[in-house]
Structure 1
Amino acid sequence: MTDNNDGWDITTNLGATALAVAAQRAAETAQPNPLVRDEFAAILIDAVNEPGWQAMAKGDLAWMGPDDDVGRRTARAGRDYVAARTVFFDEFCAVATASGIRQVVILAAGLDARAYRLACLSGVEVFEIDQPAVQAFKDSTLRAHGATPTANVHPVAVDLRDARWPEMLAGAGWVESAPSAWLVEGLLPYLSSAEHDRLFGVVTGLSAPGSRLAAEVYHHSTRHFGDQRLGKWRDGAAGIGQALDIDVDVTAFIQHDDASDTASWLTQHGWAVESLDSRDEMTRLGRPVPPDLIEIAPASSLVTGVLPLP
C-alpha cells in the first residue's frame, strides 16, 4: 500500500473506504427487500456524525440531483454491487464453517460486522486485522450500543504492511496448525503487484491443509479495471462526493502497477480455485447491471480457494 497512507483513521485516506462500504450496507439494509441485513452499519455511520455519509446510508438517493437519472442509477448499481459482494463473502463464511473451520481471519476488516450478525459464526474465533484507529472506532462504537458478537472476536490492531502481523495474529490466539478461512474484501486494489504476491505468500505459508480463502479481485489489465473504467469510476466518485459534500477520492490510492492475477497465483501455489464474475453474481441475486451501465458500474472477480488436504 502506498506510503502516504500512514496513520489514517476512519474518516481519512483509506479509512474512508470502510465508511463508504458501511454506508452502502446500511443503504441496502434500508431497502424493502434487502439482499443483506446489517443493522450495525447504520450505527457505525451515525457515530461518525458526518451528514454526507449519513445521507448515503439512508438508501433513498435523495442526495442525488432529481434530474441526474444516470447518476442515480449508477449509485444504485454501486449499492447493488456492494450488496452482492457482501452476500458472496457471507455465503463463503457459511460454507467454511460448515466444513469444520473454526477460525476466520478478516484482512483489512474495516467496519465489517460479520462477527456480530452472522449466525454461522456463532462460537467461531474471528480475527479482525486493521489499523489501530479503525479498530478502536468500531469496537468502542459497537460496545457503546451494547452490541454483542455471535463470534469470539479478536481484534488485531496492526497495519498489514507491518511484517509482524502474523506474529500479532498468533498472539491474539490464532492457531497455525488449524485450518483457517481468510477473507480479502476491499483490499487488493490498494496493493502493488509485489505487495499482492507478498500478502498471499504469507497467507499461503500460514494456511494449514483444509484452509479456505475468498478474495475480491480487480484485474487492471481487463475491462474489470482498465484505464477507461477507472476514469469513469473516478468521475462518478467525484460526482457522488460533490453531491454528498465528501472530500475523499479513494481512487487516488489505487495501485496502477498491479498486474497480478490472483486466481492464477493461488492455483500455482497449491490452492484449488474457483472464480466468478461479480456481474454474474449480481444477476443471480436479482440485481443485474443495466446494459448501459456495464462499462461504469463496479465489476470484479470473486475468487475462492481451498488448500487441499494431503
Structure 2
Amino acid sequence: VGIRLSSLLNEVLVGLGIVVQSIILILSLTLNFNWGFFVQQVLNVGVDVPQAGIEYFLPNVHFSLQNFIYAMTIAMSSFIGIESIAQAAEETRKPHRWIPRANKLSIVFVLIFAMGLSIAGTGGVGAATLSSPANLNNPVTAMARAIPNVGSFLALIVAFTGFSLCYVSTNTGVIGVSRVVFSMGRFRLLPRWFYKVHKTFRTPVRAILIFGIIGAILAIPGDLPLVANLYNFGALLSYIMVNLSLIVLRNTDRDTYRAWKVPGEVSPVIRGKKFYLPPISILGMLSCLSIWLLIVVYHPAGRLLGASWLLV
C-alpha cells in the first residue's frame, strides 16, 4: 500500500515536471536560441571567473577549465534516484519486466533534459548569466524568464515545478535507502531493529522515520552545494562498487537466471580460463572513479565530510 501511494505521488509530480521542462526546452530552442552564440560559448570552455567554494587544485591550469571540471562533478546530481528503481524490486509486480524498462526510460529522460536544458541555456542566455550570483541557484528560472512574451509567466511555474521535483527526489531517496537498510537489518548487517514493517502500509517504517529525520536535518541549513557534495561522494562510491560487483558476479555466479543482462558482453580467454566482461560496467566503474577523484580534489567539504563518513 505504502509503495503504491508513494509511486502514484511521484508519477503525478514527475509528469508535471516533464510537461513544464518540455515546454521550457522547446520554447527556449525555438524562440531564444542562437547557434552562433552557442558555438562561441562552447569554444570558451568554462566560466572565466573564479567561483566561491571551489578549491583550485591545479595552479597552472586556467580557471575556466577547472570550473568546467568542477561542473562535471556537480552534474552527477542529475542521476539522483535512478538506483532506487532497483531497490523497489521486491515490491514490484513482474520486476524482471518493469525494472529494466524503468531504468532505461529514466536514463533517456535524464539525458534529454540534462543535455537539452544545458544546450538551450548555453545558447540562449549564456554560461556567464546562468552562473551569476543571482541565477546560480535557479538557472532554469533565468532561462524561462528570457523566453519572449511568456517568460515572466513561465518563471513563476518553474518555482513550483522545482519544488515538486525536489520533493520527488527526496521521496525517491527515502524509498531507496529505507529498503536497503531494511534488507541489511534482515541479514543483520545493521541492527535487527530496522527490520520492521508497518502493519497498514507494509513499508519499513523505522528506516523511513530515521532517514526522513536525517534528510530534514540536512535540509535545514539550506546549503544545497553541501548536500550535493555529500550525495555525490557517497553515491559515486556506491556506483563504483555496484559496477565492480556486476563484473565479479558475472564470473563467480554464472548460473543464476538473469531476466535482463547488460548488452555487449565480451568473453576473453586468459590462461585457458574464460572471463565475462561487460564493457558498460567497466566503463561505468572507471568513469565514476574518475569523477569521484575529481570530487575529492575540488570539493573540500565533500572530501572532509565524506572521509569522516567512511571512518565512522
More helix by share: 2
TM over 0.5: no
> What TM-score results when the alignment is normalised by the length of structure 2?
0.26
Q: Which has the higher contact order (CA 8 A, sep 6+)?
A: 2
Higher-Rg structure is: 2
Instruction: Name the TM-score, length of structure 1 as normaliser.
Output: 0.26
Structure with a larger share of its residues in strand: 1
